[in-house]
Chains A and B, each alone.
Chain A
Amino acid sequence: AQSVTQPDIHITVSEGASLELRCNYSYGATPYLFWYVQSPGQGLQLLLKYFSGDTLVQGIKGFEAEFKRSQSSFNLRKPSVHWSDAAEYFCAVGAGGNEKLTFGTGTRLTIIP
């Protein structure tokens, strides 16, 4: 069975600084990988997804993520964060033929002026 680890529970970044959120997965084959964002009081919104092909994927709101098979990682990045990026971020992994997604425990992002 697949699993996801988000090692950082909470990250604080200054507005305008770059951001990288870590995600490691465990799965025998090539997984489907996702990043979701949850703003306070809201549902989860899909930021981006990786299925195959180019290992650098672009998403909404200026986010990107890079799939690294050798490191079993799918880290989320943004070159310059905005105060509105403060939220909780979830990495998720899916396996071919199985519609269930396994979610990480989330990373809470705080933005300081």
Chain B
Amino acid sequence: DAGVIQSPRHEVTEMGQEVTLRCKPISGHNSLFWYRQTMMRGLELLIYFNNNVPIDDSGMPEDRFSAKMPNASFSTLKIQPSEPRDSAVYFCASTQTGGFYEQYFGPGTRLTVT
């Protein structure tokens, strides 16, 4: 299995620009999680989906952030407009409902907003 795939691995953008991060979960996994990791705040859960439906988005920082999962094999996290404080590493993880909830993480996208 290829594992969780994220793209791009690195993104540098200017403040005010739209940023789209992409994730492909492990085949057969039906829950997907988006996390943000910073030195100051550690690992934060932003949103998670089950069977492509958003279940908990209480961690989404503000309306500038949105996430979609149009099908079982693809999800996006969009920031519009981006701000310097959004600079972080964004991780996607997936798990299989009915298992024991161990999550498998992608390599992350390092976002820098200048």
Given A99-B97, A103-B43, A34 contacting B105 (CB threshold 8 A): no
A43's contact among B42, B91, B101, by CB below 8 Å, is which?
A: B91
**In the assembled complex, which residues on chain B have CB atoms less than 8 Å from the CB atom of A32?**
100-102
Which DSSP category, helix, strand, loop or mixed, fits chain B's interface? strand
Does B14 belong to the interface (CB within 8 Å)? Answer: no
Does B54 belong to the interface (CB within 8 Å)? Answer: no
Contact with B along A35-77 (1 / 0, CB 8 A): 0100000111110010100000000000000000000000000
Contact between chains at A101 and B103 (CB < 8 Å): yes
Contact between chains at A43 and B48 (CB < 8 Å): no
Contact between chains at B56 and A42 (CB < 8 Å): no
Contacts from B to A (Cβ < 8 Å):
4, 31, 33, 42-43, 45, 48, 50, 55-56, 91, 93, 95, 97, 100-108
B105's contact among A43, A51, A98, by CB below 8 Å, is which?
A: A43
- Inter-chain CA distance A98–B56, complex, in Å, is 11
Near B by CB (< 8 A), chain A positions 13-44 give 32, 34, 36, 42-44
Contact between chains at B95 and A99 (CB < 8 Å): yes
Given A32-B101, A43-B91, A100 contacting B106 (CB threshold 8 A): no
Contact between chains at A46 and B97 (CB < 8 Å): no
- Inter-chain CA distance A27–B92, complex, in Å, is 26
Nearest residue, chain B, Cβ from A50: B100
Shortest Cβ distance from residue B104 to the other chain A in the assembled complex, whole angstroms:
7
Contact between chains at B107 and A43 (CB < 8 Å): yes
**In the assembled complex, which residues on chain B have CB atoms less than 8 Å from the CB atom of A43?**
4, 91, 105-108
B100's contact among A36, A51, A103, by CB below 8 Å, is which?
A: A51
- Inter-chain CA distance A91–B92, complex, in Å, is 18
- Inter-chain CA distance A101–B31, complex, in Å, is 12
Interface hub of B95, B97, B101 (most chain A Cβ within 10 A): B101
- Inter-chain CA distance A23–B42, complex, in Å, is 16
Shortest Cβ distance from residue A8 to the other chain B in the assembled complex, whole angstroms:
15
Given A103-B42, A106-B42, A42 contacting B102 (CB threshold 8 A): no
- Inter-chain CA distance A26–B87, complex, in Å, is 31
Nearest residue, chain A, Cβ from B103: A101
